[in-house]
Amino acid sequence: MTRVLLGLALALSAALAIPAAPAVADDPPPLVQVQPASYDGARRFGRTLVADPGAWSPAPERVGYQWLRDGVPIPGAVGRRHEIAPEDVGHRLDVTVVVGATGYADTAAGLPVGRVKHRVPVRRTVRYEVRTRGSLGGVDLAQARGLVQETYDDPRGWRGRGVRFKQVRRGGAFTLWLAQARLVPAFSGACSAQWSCRVGRNVIINLDRWRGASPAWREAGLALRDYQHMVVNHETGHWLGYGHASCPRRGALAPVMMQQSKGTAGCRFNPWPTPAELRRR
């Protein structure tokens, strides 16, 4: 641990362009920690943690920070504040504080933060199954199952409302279908071969959209994976009881329940439920 802190101290000193202490006959002494470092903030997704370097003698002239995830430095996370990211959830955070003063060696102190939780605890567990209808057209079913579950597990999604989704082989509360485009209308006359759909306990993902997004999404130059997140969140949102939403104002984040496949009417494309949608009772 001491070696890790020393390495981080040297790296932070270089990053902060801390000048070397004047040459002396003996190694300069370290600063003395009078009061331990601490942090403020809840260890939950959507929150921000703020580190406090504590008190030192003499008072430091410069302070640097490095946040770590499972003991590995997080690139770019070198400020006092750390906004908890989706990839932090389920992992342990720590922060290293490095202080320095003229005539003293740069001195590091590690501060354990702890494991990061989701925005809210689990309030409901929903079991679902994945099935196919028609030709998959080159889609790898095992990979698609994994991608669907990734969407449900992501702290930016409906998990942020306290809903945990668990994939089962048979007998779930709903079935997510990966359906050949021409077979989507077979679920209901309200469905079309162009779009995805939700009918009763069936969440139907149109394979043409899964493989290639929508014209509006492609024209915006957005990632296919984000479209897949969006379409799973949107159609599952219908199963959860959400209706269609509209753009609240130009430039705002589009609600995930907006029909973004067709456009956003001036809103910004967005694959995840908005805070307002997650707060809805």
Whether pLDDT at 10 is above 50: no
The percentage of residues in the chain with a pLDDT greater than 90, rounded to a whole number, is 89
Name which of 123, 238, 231, 225 is nearest 174 in CA terms: 238
Pairing assessment for the beta strands 202-206 and 174-179 based on DSSP bridges: parallel
What is the rounded CA–CA span in Å between residue 43 and residue 51?
A: 13
For 129, residues 6+ apart whose C-beta sits below 8 A from its C-beta are 167, 168, 169, 170, 171, 172, 175, 176
Does an H or E element contain 34, and which? strand 32-35
On the question of pLDDT at 95 being above 70, the answer is: yes
So what's the pLDDT on residue 128? 98
Q: What is the pLDDT of residue 169?
A: 93
Domains of the chain in sequence order:
2-115 (2.60.40.2700), 124-279 (3.40.390.10)
Tokens matching residue 226: 């984000």
Mean pLDDT of the chain: 92
CB atoms within 10 A of CB 91: 14
- Under 8 Å between Cβ of 155 and 196: no
Number of C-beta neighbours around residue 194 at 10 A:
14
52-89 confidence digits (pLDDT tens): 999 999 999 999 999 999 999 999 999 999 999 999 99
pLDDT in tens, 199-244: 999 999 999 999 999 999 999 999 999 999 999 999 999 999 999 9
Residue 186, judged by CB atoms within 10 A of its CB (0-12, 13-18, 19+), counts as: middle
Buried b (16+ CB within 10 A) or exposed e, 139-148: eeeeebeebb
pLDDT band, very low/low/confident/very high, at 20 (cuts 50, 70, 90):
very low
Per-residue pLDDT, 26: 76
**Is the preceding peptide bond at 58 cis, omega within 30 degrees of 0?**
yes
Per-residue pLDDT, 272: 98
Q: pLDDT tens, 130-157?
A: 999 999 999 999 999 999 999 999 999 9
Residue showing tokens 């969407």:
151
pTM of the complete model: 0.86
How far the first Cα of the chain sits from its last, in Å, is 47
DSSP SS3 for 197: strand
Mean pLDDT of 239-256: 97
Q: Which H or E element spans position 11?
A: helix 2-15
CA dist 74 and 83 (Å) reads: 12
- Per-residue pLDDT band at 280 (split at 50, 70, 90): confident
Tell me how far apart the alpha carbons of residues 270 and 281 are, in angstroms, rounded to a whole number.
Answer: 21
Spatial distance between the Cα atoms of 210 and 229, rounded to a whole number of angstroms? 10
